[in-house]
């Protein structure tokens, strides 16, 4: 189990971007002290919502692959990926690579608001535990 969560990646398919922005507006306090990395378009939406973001390339232009590489290098502590299960995505191989690397390197991955809530709540517990110790 990870002892700290300093950097998380946030990604959202186009059909989920509005839902993602609403989610993070509601959970902005839980992101205090966490560095956020995002794909390009997702990052611009998050920045407009008031979050500081290190935006990579847009997903179809290689952003998912950039974040996957960061996962493989141990630079990402968790991934929150608001996926659109009904849409077609030309960069699906990059998405699958990212999901595979999260599994391979045991990086927590949330793919919908319910699992993202659980992941953020878990991060809060770990932060609180670290303060006590």
| Residue 32 marked in a binding site | no
84-97: string of b/e by CB count within 10 Å (b at 16+)? Answer: eeeeebebeebbeb
62 annotated binding-site participant? no
45 is in an annotated binding site: no
- Write down the catalytic residue from 14, 29, 54, 64: 64
Is there a contact between 46 and 21 (Cβ–Cβ < 8 Å)?
yes
CB of 51 within 8 A of CB of 31?
Answer: yes
- Tell whether residue 91 is among the known ligand binding residues: yes
124 is a catalytic site residue: no
42 labeled binding residue? yes
Judge whether 4 is annotated as a binding position. no
Q: How far is CA 109 from CA 9, 48, 97, 103, in A?
A: 10, 24, 13, 8
Token pair for 70: 């960061």
Closest Cα partner for 34 from 100, 79, 85, 1? 79
Q: Is 41 annotated as a binding residue?
A: yes
- Binding-site residues for substrate: 13, 17, 39-42, 58-59, 91
- Binding-site residues: 13, 17, 39-42, 58-59, 91
Q: Which residues are the active-site residues?
A: 64
């Amino acid at each position: 189990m990870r002892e700290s969560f300093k950097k998380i990646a946030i990604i959202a398919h186009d059909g989920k971007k509005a839902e993602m922005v609403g989610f993070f507006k509601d959970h902005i306090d839980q992101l205090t002290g966490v560095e956020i990395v995002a794909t390009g378009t997702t990052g611009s939406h998050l920045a407009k919502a008031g979050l500081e973001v290190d935006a990579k390339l847009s997903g179809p232009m290689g952003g998912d692959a950039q974040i996957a590489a960061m996962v493989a290098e141990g630079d990402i502590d968790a991934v929150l990926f608001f996926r659109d299960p009904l849409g077609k995505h030309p960069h699906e191989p990059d998405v699958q690579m990212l999901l595979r690397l999260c599994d391979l390197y045991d990086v927590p991955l949330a793919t919908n608001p319910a699992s993202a809530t659980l992941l953020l709540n878990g991060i809060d517990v770990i932060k609180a535990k670290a303060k006590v110790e």
